[in-house]
Structure 1
Amino acid sequence: MGFTISYNATHEIRDAIHVLKWIQANINCAISVVFPETKPDLSKLALVGHSRGGKVVLSMGIQLNGTIPISTIIGLDPVDGDRQGIQTDPPVLTFKENTLNMTVPTLIVGTRHGSENWPLFPQCAPENVSHKQFYKDLIEPVYQFVVAKEYGHMDILDDGICELTELECMGTAGSRAPMSRFAGGVVAAFLQAIVGNNTCFFNDVFTNYESAPVILEVPQQKGELPQNHNLQVPLQDEL
């Protein structure tokens, strides 16, 4: 969502946690009725959200604090309100570096134009409560990709989703396809690295970021992933 001021996400976070608890308790039984030979691997759950949804999944990570096993959390241009002091409830950002502990590897994808706005519309992702501040606040291991030019907060969505999103958030005047393709691709590569233990795709995106379908800033990384993930990506100053 583009308009974030005064929207309370408490019920969404609570309901999403209840869904996770239901999955843990009931999904095996529910699936076995139709597919008796299928055994879901509940150790490979991932939480992914865009904009307000990014705030929701990151807040879930804080509240869960490892009580429900999940593998990773991914925030696509997450937003925590209008500015420091005017955050949506419950506030997530602390504005103190390395203070948000997700207990799992985290990926943040941001857009440069998210903090810019068209006349008469508020910023969709104000700079001090969006991806840059989340990356600063998060405890390692965390990775960040930022689209440097052209694309904005709503360009992660597919073309034709809603013309109104083109009005409220600054973004590309052309097709969103390159941005949505990159966002989907980097999420898939990160999930493959975390839950599939296959690191080659994420390694390639991280080290060969100049080949992406959008122009990226140099990807950033804090910390190393646990050894069992076997992800070997050079730090920013080694590129």
Structure 2
Amino acid sequence: MSAPTTSATNVFGFGSFTTMLQKVDSVTTSSLPVPPPKPLLIATPCEAGEFPLIIFLHGYLQYNTFYSQLLQHVASHGFIVIAPQQLYTVAGADATDEIKSTAAITSWLSKEVLQGLLPPYVQPNLSKLGLAGHSRGGKVAFALALEKAMTTLKFSALIGVDPVDGMDKGKQTPPPVLTYVPYSFNLDMAVMVIGSGLGEVKRNPLFPPCAPKGVNHEDFFKECRKPACYFVAKDYGHLDMLDDDTKGIRGRSSYCLCKNGKAREPMRRFVGGVVVAFVEAYLNGDHTDLIAIRDGYETAPVELKTVEFLV
């Protein structure tokens, strides 16, 4: 990728589209004719148009609503983002059910029922489909992309936001994703891995790090093939892309389980911005912003420890 010839947009700020959030009940409680297999949080532009679609999978012990500010950031740049609520109870070690349920959501999307849940004249473009996930959700996203469950739609972009494959090397949660063989991921799509510099640091001696070395972003990127890109935010933690105010017991725990940065807003803006730049590149074919970030023409709101591209 060469230097941009057109001016970059400010992907680290909100875009030009007005957004709305909508909750959709699952098959067990919904009155919809064809309800989704899991409850959804949908962030969408309000203005008329046809927009690419991104599935975003939440992290371990988190609610999809904890990502509402991040999802709206992405949606404001002209993307529809749907975030399933995978589990309300404490998840076990095995992520197989989450992988299968995400595959089921893609099958539900293929029935073209999402249109009825969106604002008038807002249309999803299912030929431009991205898959993203944070923490355990990042592992699930990679697992689905690696066809550990079959999907009815084709993904064109994969994003791991501080993905984690278990507690430590040799202690991966099933099904394991990492093979520890460089460039072993056979993925027919572009990949971006975002890491947190503090994710591998213990908050205190009582808690393990939230993104331990051996099963974290660094290991995921080592197995990626081109095209792929990798960003690590130096002084921010594993949960610093969540909303500023996460309520309830789980929300309060998000402030004390992981080593955190000074504030969430810069990391959330960074994650939102690089996600927008990446999907603009690989869903819409416009690499301007991604190249501008890589080459320093567009200043990130966080200090970057690592910027690496495989092209």
Which residue number in structure 2 is paired with residue 234 of structure 1? none
Q: Does 1:46 align with 2:126?
A: no
Q: Give the deviation of 1:131 after TM superposition.
A: 0.2
| Coordinate RMSD, CA, aligned | 2.5
SS at match of 2:294: helix
Please give the alpha-carbon distance, in whole angstroms, between the structure 2 residues aligned to 1:35 and 1:122. Answer: 44
Which of 45, 59, 62 is 2:143 aligned to? 59
Letter in 1 for 2:133: G
- Is the contact made by 1:113 and 1:151 (CA closer than 8 Å) also made in structure 2? yes
Which of 128, 138, 153 is 2:224 aligned to? 138
In structure 2, the gaps of 5 or more residues are 1-58, 62-89
- Is the contact made by 1:54 and 1:77 (CA closer than 8 Å) also made in structure 2? yes
Q: Give the deviation of 1:145 after TM superposition.
A: 0.2
> Highest relative contact order (Cα 8 Å, sep 6+), 1 or 2?
2
Q: Give the deviation of 1:31 after TM superposition.
A: 2.7
Which of 96, 103, 106 is 1:17 aligned to? 103
Superposed CA deviations along residues 65-90 of structure 1, whole A, max 9, x for unmatched, are: 88631110100000000112111111
Q: Give the deviation of 1:30 after TM superposition.
A: 5.8
Higher helix share: 1
- Is the contact made by 1:2 and 1:125 (CA closer than 8 Å) also made in structure 2? no
Which residue number in structure 1 is paired with residue 201 of structure 2? 116
Q: Give the deviation of 1:218 after TM superposition.
A: 3.7
Q: Does 1:163 align with 2:163?
A: no
SS at match of 1:154: coil
Larger CA deviation: 1-10 vs 31-40: 31-40
In structure 1, the gaps of 5 or more residues are 225-239
Q: Give the deviation of 1:159 after TM superposition.
A: 1.5
Please give the alpha-carbon distance, in whole angstroms, between the structure 2 residues aligned to 1:105 and 1:218. Answer: 19
Higher strand share: 2
- Is the contact made by 2:60 and 2:91 (CA closer than 8 Å) also made in structure 1? no
Q: Does 1:194 align with 2:279?
A: no
- Is the contact made by 1:59 and 1:92 (CA closer than 8 Å) also made in structure 2? yes
Q: Residues 35 and 82 from structure 1, CA distance in 2 versus in 1: closer, same or farther, beyond 3 angstroms?
A: closer
Which of 284, 293, 300 is 1:212 aligned to? 300
Superposed CA deviations along residues 174-205 of structure 1, whole A, max 9, x for unmatched, are: 32100100000100111111112222111111
Q: Residues 40 and 213 from structure 1, CA distance in 2 versus in 1: closer, same or farther, beyond 3 angstroms?
A: closer
Please give the alpha-carbon distance, in whole angstroms, between the structure 1 residues aligned to 2:139 and 2:240. Answer: 18
SS at match of 2:245: coil
- Is the contact made by 1:209 and 1:219 (CA closer than 8 Å) also made in structure 2? no
Q: Give the deviation of 1:209 after TM superposition.
A: 7.2
Which residue number in structure 1 is paired with residue 22 of structure 2? none
Superposed CA deviations along residues 28-64 of structure 1, whole A, max 9, x for unmatched, are: x663798897653211111011000000100000016
Q: Does 1:76 align with 2:161?
A: yes
> How many pairs are equivalent?
219
Which residue number in structure 2 is paired with residue 182 of structure 1? 270
- Is the contact made by 2:230 and 2:306 (CA closer than 8 Å) also made in structure 1? no
Correspondences of 1:145-156 after superposition (within 5 Å): 145-148=231-234, 150-156=235-241
Which of 169, 175, 182 is 1:97 aligned to? 182
- Is the contact made by 1:210 and 1:216 (CA closer than 8 Å) also made in structure 2? no
Superposed CA deviations along residues 141-170 of structure 1, whole A, max 9, x for unmatched, are: 21100012x211011112122231121100
TM-score in terms of structure 2 length: 0.65
Please give the alpha-carbon distance, in whole angstroms, between the structure 1 residues aligned to 2:275 and 2:118. Answer: 30
Q: Residues 68 and 212 from structure 1, CA distance in 2 versus in 1: closer, same or farther, beyond 3 angstroms?
A: same
Letter in 2 for 1:203: I
SS at match of 1:83: coil
